[in-house]
Amino acid sequence: MKLNLTDILNINFSEAYNIEGLSSSSLNGVSTDSRTIKKGEIFFAIRGEKVNGHDYIAAAINAGAAALVVDSKFYEKKFWENSGSIVFSKPVIVVENTVKALGELANIYRKKFNIPVIAVAGSNGKTTAKDMIARVLSEKYNVLSTQGNLNNHIGVPLTLFRLNHKHDIAVVEIGTNHFGEIKYLCEILEPTHGLITNIHNEHLEFFGDINGVAKEEGYLFKYRAEKKSKSVGFVNTDDKRVVSLSKNLKNRVLYGTKENKADITGINLSVNSDGKFAFELISNSHKNSLKLKLAVAGKHNVSNALAASAIGLYFNVPVTKIKKAIETFKPVNKRMEIVKAGKVTIINDTYNANADSVLSALKTLELIQTQGNKIIVLGDMLELGNQSKQQHTLVGEAITKFASSSDVTVHLLTYGKQSRQIYKSANLKNKSHYSDKKALCENVAKIVAENDIVLVKGSRGMRMEDIVTYLTEKL
Q: What is the pLDDT of residues 228-267, one digit of tens each?
A: 677 789 999 999 999 999 999 989 999 999 866 789 999 9
User: What is the model's pLDDT at position 115?
Assistant: 96
User: What is the model's pLDDT at position 49?
Assistant: 84
The pTM of this model reads: 0.88
Confidence of residue 216 (pLDDT cuts 50, 70, 90): very high
* 281 alpha-carbon distance from chain centroid: 26
User: What is the model's pLDDT at position 86?
Assistant: 60
pLDDT winner (highest mean) among 15-29, 68-82, 206-220: 206-220
User: What is the model's pLDDT at position 231?
Assistant: 74
Category of 328 on φ-ψ map: left (φ > 0), alpha (ψ -120 to 50) or beta:
alpha
Residue 204 has pLDDT above 90, yes or no: no
> How confident is the model over 340-363, as a mean pLDDT?
91
Give the contacts of 252 (CB within 8 A, at least 6 positions apart). Answer: 232, 233, 234, 235, 246
Cα–Cα distances (Å) from 157 to 7, 146, 368, 370, 456, in that order, read: 14, 10, 40, 45, 32
User: What is the model's pLDDT at position 79?
Assistant: 56
Residue 218 has pLDDT above 90, yes or no: yes
User: What is the model's pLDDT at position 76?
Assistant: 76
Domains, in order of start, for the chain: 5-98 (3.40.1390.10), 113-327 (3.40.1190.10), 337-474 (3.90.190.20)
Q: How many CB atoms lie within 10 A of CB 135?
A: 21
Q: Are 321 and 118 in contact (CB under 8 A)?
A: no
Residue 401 has pLDDT above 90, yes or no: yes
Confidence of residue 349 (pLDDT cuts 50, 70, 90): very high
Residue 85 has pLDDT above 60, yes or no: no
Confidence of residue 194 (pLDDT cuts 50, 70, 90): very high
Cα–Cα distance for residue pair 376/374, rounded to 1 Å: 7
Cα R_g (the chain), whole angstroms: 24
Pairing status of strand 67-71 against strand 41-44: parallel
> What percentage of residues in the chain have a pLDDT greater than 70?
96
3-state secondary structure 395-421: HHHHHHHHHHHCCCCEEEEEECCCCHH
Residue 191 has pLDDT above 60, yes or no: yes
> How confident is the model over 155-173, as a mean pLDDT?
96
Residue 352 has pLDDT above 90, yes or no: no
User: What is the model's pLDDT at position 285?
Assistant: 77
Cα–Cα distance for residue pair 111/106, rounded to 1 Å: 9
> How confident is the model over 400-428, as a mean pLDDT?
95
Cα–Cα distances (Å) from 225 to 118, 192, 197, 209, in that order, read: 14, 11, 18, 24
> How confident is the model over 114-139, as a mean pLDDT?
95
User: What is the model's pLDDT at position 83?
Assistant: 45
3-state secondary structure the chain: CCCCHHHHHCCCCCEEECHHHCCHHHCCEEECCCCCCCCCEEEECCECCCCEHHHHHHHHHHCCCCEEEEEHHHHHHHHCCCCCCHHHHCCEEEECCHHHHHHHHHHHHHCCCCCCEEEEECCCCHHHHHHHHHHHHCCCCCEEECCCCCCCCCHHHHHHCCCCCCCCEEEEECCCCCCCHHHHHHHHHCCCEEEECCCCCCCHHHHCCHHHHHHHHCHHHHHHHHHCCCCCEEEECCCHHHHHHCCCCCCEEEEECCCCCCCEEEEEEEECCCCEEEEEEEECCCCCCEEEEEEEECCHHHHHHHHHHHHHHHCCCCHHHHHHHHHCCCCCCCCCEEEEECCEEEEEECCCCCHHHHHHHHHHHHHCCCCCCEEEEEECCCCCHHHHHHHHHHHHHHHHHHHHHCCCCEEEEEECCCCHHHHHHCCCCCEEEECCHHHHHHHHHHHCCCCCEEEEECCHHHCCHHHHHHHHHHC
> What percentage of residues in the chain have a pLDDT greater than 90?
72
Cα–Cα distance for residue pair 280/292, rounded to 1 Å: 6
> How confident is the model over 133-159, as a mean pLDDT?
95
Residue 196 has pLDDT above 80, yes or no: yes
Q: Considering the chain, what is the average pLDDT of its residues?
A: 91
> How confident is the model over 168-172, as a mean pLDDT?
98
The dihedral through the CA atoms of 140, 163, 100, 223 has a sign that is: negative
Confidence of residue 294 (pLDDT cuts 50, 70, 90): very high
Cα–Cα distance for residue pair 438/443, rounded to 1 Å: 9
Pairing status of strand 92-95 against strand 15-17: antiparallel
